[in-house]
Structure 1
Amino acid sequence: MPSRSPEAQPSNQTEVFAVHGADPEVLAYAMAKYSRSALSMKESLKEISSQRAEQFLNTFYFQYGHRSIADLAHVAFAIERLSLLAAIVLVDEQRWDGQERSTRYQNFRKSGWYMPDFAADAAAGQLYRDTVTGLFAAYEQVAAGAFESLRQQTPRPEEMKQDAFDRTMKARAFDVARYLLPLATNTSLGQIVNARTLEMQISRLLSSPFDEVRMLGERLREAAAGPAWNVHASDYSALADEVAKLDPALGERARELLTREVKTAPTLVKYAKENEYRSATRRELAQAADGLMKGIPIQAAPLVDLVEAGQSLEVELATTLLYGACHYSYRQLRERVAALDSVRRDEIISLGTRYRGRHDELLREFSVGQVLRFDILMDIGGFRDMHRHRRCVQVMQDFTTEHGWDVPEGLEQAGLKATFDTAMKQAHAASQRLAASAVPQSAQYVLPLATRNRTLFSMDFAEALYISELRSAPQGHFSYRRVAWEMYQAVRKQHPVLAQYFRVTDINEPVDLLKR
């Protein structure tokens, strides 16, 4: 029997190693070469320079449209002192990883806040400033009052130290006080995203009607294209100085290597710009929604509404497209859309693609067909926690005073209800006045986190079960615990056989505040 050639012999030599130190775009090129070269990763990285990576990306990413290459370049960013409103817009990506300052565990009293440019309307600027400072004063008062109330009402276990007990009670007090934080409040966050998501994120930010958000998009693009901050820069520079004392030539080589500038994604984001498809489509969908629902009052809606299936995919798509452009519930919109003839319904759907360019991804609203659609009307603070669930498709509506606000637990017992109500009424009244000012976008910034807002969450059964189980847990915030419980109850009502698979926590059971 003839022996096989060496190439045909089995080779059980799997090797796995982590890669460190390569620039993101260089690493993306090296990984992409697996599809075009037999070289190993180590061999590829040794021969690739930043210049060669740029040439490759210019050809295959931009000219040929191989956008998956950008999935291989991951970049870390710190984004600090942006408003809560801008942070919500920033993180609204389905492929996103990051962490933000928690309004549940940190005091935001000294965070500062975003101030729009009111040069054309000084009176509106003063109203904005007074409203935000008034909300922060109420926030501080409620946080202090809730803390004292909780300390008095909650026995401290003998084995628990006083400082640990106080930290826990302060966190529970922030659970209440955060309802008064305006969307103008500054926060900070870190994100790690791939370059394709980053490019899409920048383009989306540049298409925003908010000045702050557009500026954020510009700064994000500049940060990706410019030199990155090196955590070891001072240590490397000092080391190069020490080497230079011993050998000037070697020290210069060390300095060039150790302190060189690294630009994380200069090629992959250089063409990111405002997305005309998104901007123009949003405007036309808003006009279509206004025309369809003109004069019709917004109907009252529950906290969670699991909208039953039964309509065609065309009705679902047209309804979802209009949903993000108005403040009506999904159910109320769907009734109107279902009553339209097919020609009028198709006109609405066509608005979603009229301005779509060659490389534009379809709007998120086209991701329809999920079995479970939850129309959720909840406070903005609680929504920010629900917003983290990215396996589902979320379609947000703009922030508005239309739906009123939620009242946190514990205010009555602490004697703080009047303070809270006064602050909320003044903030919503100011928002309505600012909406008619020369800077109408400022109206959303003065809305406190207690303000109710509507979002459509579409998902499969596994995600509904996961959210219900996770968010109903006792350590969760009472706001989203109610939402998770109502999601479970809605599924149980429509699909009773499936209820047995949920491992939810009954939110009506007493909760030990020291274990939350």
Structure 2
Amino acid sequence: MATCEDAYLLRYVSNLDRNVYVIFNLPEEVIAVIFAYVSRSPLSFRENLKKLLADEELALASATEDVPPTARHALAQEKARQFHEKWVVGYGHSSVAEHAVAHVGVEKISRLASAELELATSFNSFTEYSQRYQRPRRGDVYIPPELDAYPELKARYLAVQDQTFDAYERLLAGLLNHLRATEPRRDGESEKAYRMRLEKMAFEDARYVLTLAVHTNLGLTGNGRSLRDTIVRLLSLPYRECRDLARALEAEVARVLPTLLRHVRPNDYLIGTREALNAYASRVQAEPYRTAEREPYARLVSAPDEETATRRLVAHLLLSTGRMSREQAEEASRRMPLAERNRLIEEALVRLRFFDNPVDPFAHVYYEVALQVSEANWHQLLRHNRKTNFTYQPPTVRNGYTVPPRVRAAGLEAPFAEAIAAAEALFFDLEAVDPALAPYAVTGAHHRQVYASMSLWELYHLINLRTSPEAQWDIRMAMESLYEQVRAIHPSVIKYAKRRA
């Protein structure tokens, strides 16, 4: 028979008699406190919560119904803060911060800032406004406060942002006319569905002339540790917008996780290293470069030969069975003929279905890829990245730009090129004043150069996801190219990557 104490405990846990249960209705930092006890106490989470409730360490048991919920919540947070001061801050047990989570809405930041936010750490989760499905509004752009000191340049900045939006609207109208003439209505497709399909295709291509200053919105979920790392990274960037965003995140997240965001400040190592590397590169390359290769590419630049790749993969597959030691697995793989190794690799892949990922040993074959891709493509790579490590240059106009094939087919290259030229001229004028301002003139069409180090596991994820018929054409072309290059050298290991295509 449940006691009053048990009934009270059920306000915060999903059951009293099973080994798996959910903890809820508590401030995030309080949950982190309860989990912190697992490293200091042999009691269960429920028992520790019951103990905390009984001795009022979390100030919950004494909260009566006539006390407003907000007051109870605030008191519990204060008690949690005191606990964190003692155990988490005082003893450096910072992993506890990963158990406290905040959900943050971030609105009206530039596409430049949204990319930096997503790159800050791999442990946050994002859902972002998509220009592929929605039409941005004229004037929704970030205006750097630094431009107030340069009235003429600010006027040009605003004029070019307006000019690129003019081009966007012209491209949108022209693409819709072209698509109505060339894209037939499908059997059973309603007029509304047909119109929406054509609009999506037009949105997808017209957006390439919009700059990285255009506003976007996103939803962010992160734990205390990842959010702190994110804020530190943003504070250490050269972009004022990102530093302002960091302080706004700090202020709002601290309302939910007050203790876990203490002592957040710019990272001297990141700032000093960036400045030192820039100074060295300026001495080596005094004049700004302009690459001769203007077309986009995805180029495999480093990969093991087939013998090495299959030996390594088979050794890992054998070790994972638990039937042999590492040394035995390596020796068995070394002695095995290539044809037999390929049969074993086939056995590890043949059961893959559309939404499966390969088994973990596939993460131990590595590739290095050089990319020159549009900013539009780059943003998609960020959103769908799982385990890829990137080295990337800041946004620039020095690597050429992508013209969407439908823009060419519709005879709209002239307005597209005019908008690009205006953005490029603005880029160089902004760069002369402050290099941190120049990226706001870069368009979605302009190319960024990136090094990507990825495993075979990650290649399976990206190729499967981004070579499907539903994938956006730009990233699909890059992944198709990469797939063909890997298939040329490792036909057996990449065989099932395109299972959604």
Sort the TM-score into its range (normalised by shorter chain). 0.7 to 0.9
| Alignment pair present for 1:380 and 2:380 | no
Query: Separation in 1 of the partners of 2:286 and 2:182?
Result: 50
How far apart are 1:372 and its partner, in Å?
0.9
* Match in the other structure for 2:113: 86
* Match in the other structure for 1:500: 495
Q: CA 1:297/1:403 → structure 2, altered by over 3 Å: closer, same or farther?
A: closer
How far apart are 1:155 and its partner, in Å?
1.5
Query: Separation in 2 of the partners of 1:65 and 1:375?
Result: 40
- Counterpart of 1:469, as a letter, is N
* Residues 63-84 of structure 1: per-residue CA shift (max 9 Å, x gap): 3322211111111000011111
* Match in the other structure for 2:350: none
The answer to whether the Cα contact below 8 Å between 1:27 and 1:45 also exists between their aligned partners in 2 is no
- Aligned residue for 1:435, secondary structure, equals helix
* Match in the other structure for 1:415: 411
- Counterpart of 1:414, as a letter, is A
Q: CA 1:298/1:287 → structure 2, altered by over 3 Å: closer, same or farther?
A: farther
- Counterpart of 1:418, as a letter, is A
The answer to whether the Cα contact below 8 Å between 2:297 and 2:371 also exists between their aligned partners in 1 is yes
How far apart are 1:86 and its partner, in Å?
0.6
How far apart are 1:20 and its partner, in Å?
2.1
* 1:306 corresponds to which of 290, 300, 305: 300
Query: Separation in 1 of the partners of 2:235 and 2:388?
Result: 25
Larger displacement relative to structure 2 (389-398 or 497-506) = 497-506
* Match in the other structure for 1:179: 208
The aligned runs of 1:75-474 (5 Å cut-off) are: 75-92=102-119, 93-110=121-138, 112-117=140-145, 118-225=147-254, 263-293=255-285, 298=291, 300=293, 303-308=297-302, 371-388=366-383, 389-437=385-433, 439-474=434-469
Query: Separation in 1 of the partners of 2:224 and 2:366?
Result: 32
* Residues 188-218 of structure 1: per-residue CA shift (max 9 Å, x gap): 0001101100001001111111111110000
Query: Separation in 2 of the partners of 1:157 and 1:492?
Result: 34
- Counterpart of 1:65, as a letter, is G
How far apart are 1:39 and its partner, in Å?
3.5
How far apart are 1:40 and its partner, in Å?
3.3
* Match in the other structure for 1:23: 27
- Aligned residue for 2:478, secondary structure, equals helix
Q: CA 1:464/1:44 → structure 2, altered by over 3 Å: closer, same or farther?
A: same
The aligned runs of 1:42-81 (5 Å cut-off) are: 42-46=46-50, 47=52, 48=58, 49-81=76-108
The answer to whether the Cα contact below 8 Å between 1:392 and 1:463 also exists between their aligned partners in 2 is yes
Q: CA 1:300/1:370 → structure 2, altered by over 3 Å: closer, same or farther?
A: farther
* Residues 296-326 of structure 1: per-residue CA shift (max 9 Å, x gap): 875638611222258xxxxxxxxxxxxxxxx
- Counterpart of 1:178, as a letter, is R
Q: Give unmatched runs, 5+ long, in structure 1.
A: 1-12, 226-262, 311-368, 507-516
Larger displacement relative to structure 2 (209-218 or 382-391) = 382-391
How far apart are 1:125 and its partner, in Å?
0.7
* Residues 98-129 of structure 1: per-residue CA shift (max 9 Å, x gap): 10000110101347111112122111111111
Larger displacement relative to structure 2 (69-78 or 46-55) = 46-55
The answer to whether the Cα contact below 8 Å between 1:106 and 1:174 also exists between their aligned partners in 2 is yes
- Aligned residue for 1:499, secondary structure, equals coil
TM-score by length of 2: 0.75
The answer to whether the Cα contact below 8 Å between 1:26 and 1:45 also exists between their aligned partners in 2 is no
Query: Separation in 1 of the partners of 2:152 and 2:272?
Result: 32
- Aligned residue for 1:419, secondary structure, equals helix
- Counterpart of 1:493, as a letter, is A
* Match in the other structure for 2:307: none
* Residues 211-235 of structure 1: per-residue CA shift (max 9 Å, x gap): 111100000000012xxxxxxxxxx
- Aligned residue for 2:408, secondary structure, equals helix
Q: Give unmatched runs, 5+ long, in structure 2.
A: 1-16, 53-57, 59-75, 305-363
TM-score by length of 1: 0.73
- Aligned residue for 1:183, secondary structure, equals coil
The answer to whether the Cα contact below 8 Å between 2:391 and 2:451 also exists between their aligned partners in 1 is yes
- Aligned residue for 1:306, secondary structure, equals strand
The answer to whether the Cα contact below 8 Å between 1:221 and 1:270 also exists between their aligned partners in 2 is no
* Residues 456-511 of structure 1: per-residue CA shift (max 9 Å, x gap): 221111101211121111111110001111121221233333232322677xxxxx
- Aligned residue for 2:474, secondary structure, equals helix
Q: CA 1:60/1:292 → structure 2, altered by over 3 Å: closer, same or farther?
A: farther
- Aligned residue for 1:51, secondary structure, equals helix
- Counterpart of 1:269, as a letter, is L
Query: RMSD of the TM alignment (CA)?
Result: 2.1
* Match in the other structure for 1:486: 481
- Aligned residue for 2:130, secondary structure, equals coil
* Residues 134-160 of structure 1: per-residue CA shift (max 9 Å, x gap): 001111111121122112211113521
- The percent identity for this pair of structures is 30
The answer to whether the Cα contact below 8 Å between 1:111 and 1:187 also exists between their aligned partners in 2 is no
Query: Separation in 2 of the partners of 1:139 and 1:116?
Result: 22
How far apart are 1:294 and its partner, in Å?
5.1
- Counterpart of 2:267, as a letter, is N
* Residues 312-370 of structure 1: per-residue CA shift (max 9 Å, x gap): xxxxxxxxxxxxxxxxxxxxxxxxxxxxxxxxxxxxxxxxxxxxxxxxxxxxxxxxx97
- Counterpart of 1:281, as a letter, is T
- Aligned residue for 2:373, secondary structure, equals strand
The answer to whether the Cα contact below 8 Å between 2:467 and 2:498 also exists between their aligned partners in 1 is no
How far apart are 1:293 and its partner, in Å?
4.7
The answer to whether the Cα contact below 8 Å between 1:109 and 1:140 also exists between their aligned partners in 2 is no
- Aligned residue for 1:436, secondary structure, equals helix
